Amino acid sequence: MNALWWFALAALALPLWWHRKKREQHKAEPLATARFLPRTEPRQTRVWRFADPLLLLLRCLLLATLVAWLADPVFPWRGDTVVVAEGSDPAWVERQAAQAGLQDAERIAMPAAQAIPWLRTHEREWKPEARLLVLGDIPMPATLPAFGRAVELRTQARAAQKVERHVYIESERAAEWRRLFAAIDGPERVVVDAAPGAKTELIVWDRAGAPPATLKAPLWWITDPAPFPELGNAVEADGVRHAASARGRLWLSNAWPPRDADAARALIRHWQQVHVGPRPYTAPARVFAASKNARAPAPSGALRDLLLGALVALFVLERLLTHARRR
């Protein structure tokens, strides 16, 4: 739809019309030869001229820049490029770029999760003959991307980064809950806080009575539903009842704390899948062939900042010149 703004260039006729000026000129013969000429009526010639040509030029440029800013044009200007995921091994990146013959190509570093979506959005910025190489621990996208040009992906899985999950336990059975969280292995480490704070992601409320109204957290594990009327409309999944509240998400189970290892693993797995989210899986190396059915992405706004700056500068100049003309 942005391309339709180019039809607004017809508005350039407005300043042209405003600056046209009618002038009348009388065409007369020299007086010395007037007596030899037949008697005729005076003739008038209308001449169309443009007044203030510099101001006219500024106004035309102003309108043209405004139309271009609204149309959001994208011109291919990038050459061979290597997109590198942040945190990649520099030596491995250099080897892969050299093998692909792109050791002198432009390098763009960005978070691994944004590499494929960003490339898809800005695809129209590359010249037709440009080559693209993506390197790093790129997570597997939910759907296979389609590009209008060939894109090579080479991946290297990195060791999972350690992540701390802060938990606050309010229970007379705190030791049982602590054993549950202590058994969690992998990149996630659970830190049991002595008091709830800004980093607390989970509150285990294993006691009767309502918690303080000011106590909030993204997730609550509840064993007594009485103080939480929101659980009346809870939805059950894997034996756990879920509900939303102003305090945060509420989970309820009558079987908590878990009594055996299987129940503990099921609860932790449910927590990681539903709340924490699945761990990203490194995409396999492959070459995305150019697809004829790939639709051109929406304009990426690569030139909008530049055009906006030019628009402001032209507007200021036009106002200054108009003011000087009136004086």
Helices (H), the chain: 13-18, 53-71, 90-99, 115-121, 174-182, 261-271, 304-326
Per-residue pLDDT of the chain (327 residues; tens, 9 = 90+): 466 666 677 777 777 677 665 444 455 555 555 566 666 666 655 555 666 778 888 888 888 888 887 777 777 888 999 999 999 999 999 999 999 999 999 999 999 999 999 998 888 889 999 999 999 999 998 888 999 899 999 999 988 778 899 999 999 999 999 999 988 877 888 999 999 999 999 999 999 889 998 999 999 999 999 999 999 888 998 889 999 999 999 999 988 999 888 999 999 989 988 988 877 889 999 999 988 877 756 655 667 778 888 889 988 988 888 887 776
Note the pTM of the prediction, 2 decimals: 0.62
147 is written with which tokens?
């590009």
CB-facing half-sphere around the CA of 177: CA atoms within 13 A: 23
Cα dihedral 82, 87, 91, 97 in deg (nearest 10):
-10
Taking each helix axis as running N to C, give the angle between helix 53-71 and helix 304-326, from 0 to 180 degrees, rounded to the nearest 10. 160
Do residues 37 and 53 touch, judged by C-beta distance below 8 A?
no
Phi, psi of 268 (to 5 degrees): -65, -40
Q: Which of 122, 92, 125, 94 is nearest to 107 (CA)?
A: 94
Q: Which of 69, 9, 43 is nearest to 302 (CA)?
A: 69
Helices (H), 108-173: 115-121
Q: How far apart are CA 261 and CA 286, in angstroms?
A: 41
Cα–Cα distances (Å) from 313 to 26, 69, 147, 298, 308, in that order, read 43, 14, 37, 27, 9
